[in-house]
Amino acid sequence: MAGELSFIELGSDDPGKSRQFYEALFGWTFSPGASGEGAGYDIAGLGTAAGIHGGDPAASPYVFFKVDDLDAAAAQVLDLGGTVLELDMDGTDEQAAKYGRFTMCTDSQGSPFGLHQPPSA
């Protein structure tokens, strides 16, 4: 597995307010994300793919690590004593084709992280 940083996701109760906060703090630029204007944004200029999603107040940032095969990586997480919390949080087939496949996990000590299989080229 590659294991390199692949995606950062920020959870928020109100993505629009979060967008304003990070624009003012860091000068990040945003575009409507897979969830559409007001529900999610893609963030440019971080050096890695990133986004904000709604419906997740006071969430810690989610860090996703790149894998070549999401199903095999999720199975390995389980084999190593971790958990797979939400397999295939991809949304629609169109979103998965554009952004890839995502899974939330915890390691063997309960620390959360995500796995990301980028879309096929």
Calpha distance 63→54 (Å, rounded): 16
Q: Is 56 exposed, middle or buried (0-12, 13-18, 19+ CB in 10 A)?
A: middle
pTM of the model: 0.71
Question: From first to last of its 121 residues, what are the pLDDT tens digits of the chain?
Answer: 667 888 888 888 888 888 888 888 778 888 776 655 444 566 777 777 788 888 887 778 888 888 999 999 999 999 999 999 876 665 667 777 888 888 999 998 787 888 999 888 6
CA distance 46 to 50: 7
- Burial-class residue 81 by CB neighbours within 10 Å (0-12, 13-18, 19+): exposed
Domains delineated in the chain:
5-117 (3.10.180.10)
